């Protein structure tokens, strides 16, 4: 079952045309990512500052389907998926609360590495639990 994060589009998210600026969608998705980690009892402070492991984003993309405006209520549905023993991706569906329409799709790809020597490392157990908790495949089988 995907993780869902509700958010209000803020004025600071928009551009001069009054719509969400393209570069601000990924930070919204990252907010949902952080909230899903916290909802899985992952300590964010230690997750983002653990010296032995890092999980950088190595790819990101967004497809915009409809404009988002200041004051809009949106839900970001986050679905992670294991790709290999050291990589995963997160699919995001951004939906309007008011009109129940899909506004955008986003994708981030992550790799787990040793933060000292920058070599690939197996995804830690806590993150694997998080991946399985919010993955669609766990509930559709």
Active-site residue set: 15
12-26: burial string, b at 16+ Cβ within 10 Å, e else: ebbeeeebbeeebbb
Q: What is the CA radius of gyration of the chain?
A: 16
Residues 123, 47 contacting (CB under 8 angstroms): no
Determine contact, residues 122/87, Cβ cutoff 8 Å. no
Look up residue 9 and give its two tokens: 């589009």
């Amino acid at each position: 079952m995907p993780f869902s994060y509700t958010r209000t589009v803020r004025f600071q998210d928009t551009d001069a045309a009054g719509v969400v600026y393209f570069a601000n969608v990924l930070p919204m998705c990252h907010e949902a990512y952080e909230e899903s980690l916290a909802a899985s009892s992952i300590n964010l402070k230690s997750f983002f500052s653990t010296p032995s492991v890092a999980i950088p984003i190595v790819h990101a993309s967004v497809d915009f389907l409809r404009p988002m405006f200041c004051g809009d209520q949106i839900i970001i549905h986050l679905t992670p998926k294991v790709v290999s023993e050291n990589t995963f991706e997160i699919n995001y569906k951004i939906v309007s609360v008011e009109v129940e329409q899909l506004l955008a799709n986003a994708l981030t790809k992550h790799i787990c590495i040793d933060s000292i020597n920058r070599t690939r490392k197996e995804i830690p157990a806590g993150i694997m639990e998080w991946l399985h908790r919010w993955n669609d495949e766990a509930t559709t089988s």
